Amino acid sequence: MRWALTWMDFVVLLQRPTANANLLHFRVTGKKMPIFRLGYAFAALVICSVPALAQDDFPTHFVCDFNQGYSWTYDAGKFSAGPPADLAFEIADVDLEKQSASLILNGKPANALKIVRAINANHFLEVVNEGFLNLTTVYDRDPATGKYPAVHSRHYGLFGQPVFAQYAGNCAAKP
């Protein structure tokens, strides 16, 4: 199929952009295609390219600090909530194309991280040796503070009992 926009179609578009909009069309080798379909295709192209453009300047190293949140433990048939201790770590060697990064605890490499990319965020997934999961989501930079809002969630067990925690905090780009 070949697209052909004739000069007359262009003139009609300029003269009546809103009148009978559903009747406007491009000629496609004898078939007609409503112009709104082209608009949808263009909008999809723009929307799909925005996240990729926004993440071109994504830092390759973060220092993260989480000072809010809750921890839940399961004991005697019910969950109990309590505040967790403050948590700080670094995410280094961030490679969005390879979807990999490294976790650094107390200045030492601790574990490999997998990256799941999202619109306006990146999720860093750590699978601990025992099979438990830690997930850190780092959102786009807040222009007011210059920091990256982040959420950290831990899912593990201790002595056969479920334990999980959710933290809120910020990450800062490390040069």
**Tens-level pLDDT at each residue, the chain (175 residues):** 334 444 444 444 445 444 444 444 444 455 555 555 555 555 555 455 444 444 558 899 999 999 999 999 988 889 999 988 899 999 999 999 999 999 999 999 999 999 999 999 999 999 998 889 999 999 999 999 999 999 999 998 888 889 899 999 999 999 8
* CA distances from residue 165 to 64, 81, 87, 89, 148 in whole angstroms, order as listed: 16, 9, 11, 16, 20
In angstroms, the CA 73 to CA 164 distance is 7
In angstroms, the CA 141 to CA 101 distance is 19
> Phi then psi for 8, rounded to 5 degrees?
-65, -40
Domain 58-173: which topology? Porin (2.40.160)
Contacts for 10 with CB less than 8 Å, ≥ 6 apart: none
Chain center to CA of 72: 26
pLDDT digits 0-9 by tens, 1-38: 334 444 444 444 445 444 444 444 444 455 555 555 55
CA dihedral over 32, 35, 41, 42, signed as positive or negative: positive
Contacts for 57 with CB less than 8 Å, ≥ 6 apart: none
Looking at 42-107, which runs of residues are DSSP E strands?
62-75, 78-82, 87-95, 100-105
End-to-end CA distance of the chain: 51
Contacts for 110 with CB less than 8 Å, ≥ 6 apart: 89, 102, 103, 104
Give residue 47's pLDDT.
56
In angstroms, the CA 38 to CA 42 distance is 6
Give residue 129's pLDDT.
83
Long-range CB pairs of 135-141 (<8 Å, 24+ gap) are 136/64, 136/91, 138/62, 138/64, 138/91, 138/171, 140/54, 141/173
Report yes or no on whether pTM surpasses 0.75: no
Domain residue extents for the chain: 3-55, 58-173
